[in-house]
Amino acid sequence: MEEQAEGLSELFNDGNSNASDSGKGSAAKRDHNTRIIAITSGKGGVGKTNFAVNMAIAYAQLGKKVILIDGDLGMANVNVLLNIVPQYNLMHVINKKKTMKEIIMDTEFGIKFIAGANGFSKIANLSVEELEYFANQFATLGNADIIIIDTGAGIANNVLQFVAAADEVFVVTTPEPTAITDAYGIIKIITTEIVDRTVNIKLIVNRVHSPDEGKRISERIITIVGQFLGYKIEYLGCIPEDPLVQASVIRQKPFIVVNPTSKPAVYLKHIVGRIEKTEPEFNEGVSSFLKKFLSKKR
């Protein structure tokens, strides 16, 4: 795995150097500025995927070029919320049957979507030729301003790989005691498993009855994480409980589109606004993301 990662790094460096030599250095610069966010949770059923979908659309409404990747390799369902039936997915790229451009889907919501695939762990055993092809294909995503990855819930290896490679990790929870416990659990695993760097972890509390409840839940988690893990995480905000959200899921249409002035939509836009105000000084881009993804020890 480490040898593959080193080879991939050289591949990207060579590619960027050649692009610069041929007058195409701007592509490397765009990759350098791509912001990659992994959205995860300690358990299913907390609204993680719904948050990821609607946040992607909120960014697109700000004029950003957004790619939403379904990284839940066990129970992928982003396409359900978008009311899309994907014909191709990442496995077609890995198997060299399709290019990345051929599997990226445009949506009616102003974002692009990439469907996940069971068996993606095969990337650990790619041949040099397969690795080079996949790396070159993944590098084309550097044109995006934002890449949002909806990971699976829990602590599967693939989840940790996505989390370890992203610029930022958003942990979604709810006020339910089990969700709070599991949120702490996933944060603990992230901070203990990924020891080579500090992971930028941020917290979202979903389905709250009031902003005070969201703040109270977040303070509890932040305090426990600081006390027992010695780790600092940031509270981004909350999304209120609202029948509109469930109704939009049934309609297979994001709530931010169904009713842009609803409380969930307004709160979500506020969260995105906060994120934009805390833009990292340095986004490492898709080449670094893939290198870290391959380097993550299983």
Report pLDDT digits (tens) over 14-64: 444 444 343 344 333 434 489 999 999 998 999 999 999 999 999 999 999
Strand 112-114 vs strand 146-151: parallel, antiparallel, or unpaired?
unpaired
Burial class (CB in 10 A: 0-12, 13-18, 19+), 26: exposed
Report pLDDT for 225: 97
Rg (the chain; Cα; Å): 19
Report pLDDT for 125: 58
Domain limits for position 16: 2-295
Q: Evaluate if residue 247 carries a pLDDT over 70.
A: yes
CB 135 within 8 A of CB 290: yes
Taking every pair of Cα atoms in the chain, the longest distance, rounded to a whole number of angstroms, is 57
Number of domains in the chain: 1
pTM: 0.85
Find the Cα–Cα–Cα–Cα dihedral 143, 257, 259, 246, rounded to 10°. Answer: -110
Rounded to whole angstroms, the Cα distance separating 82 from 39 reads 17
Least confident of 19-33, 197-211, 253-267: 19-33
237: CATH: 3.40.50.300
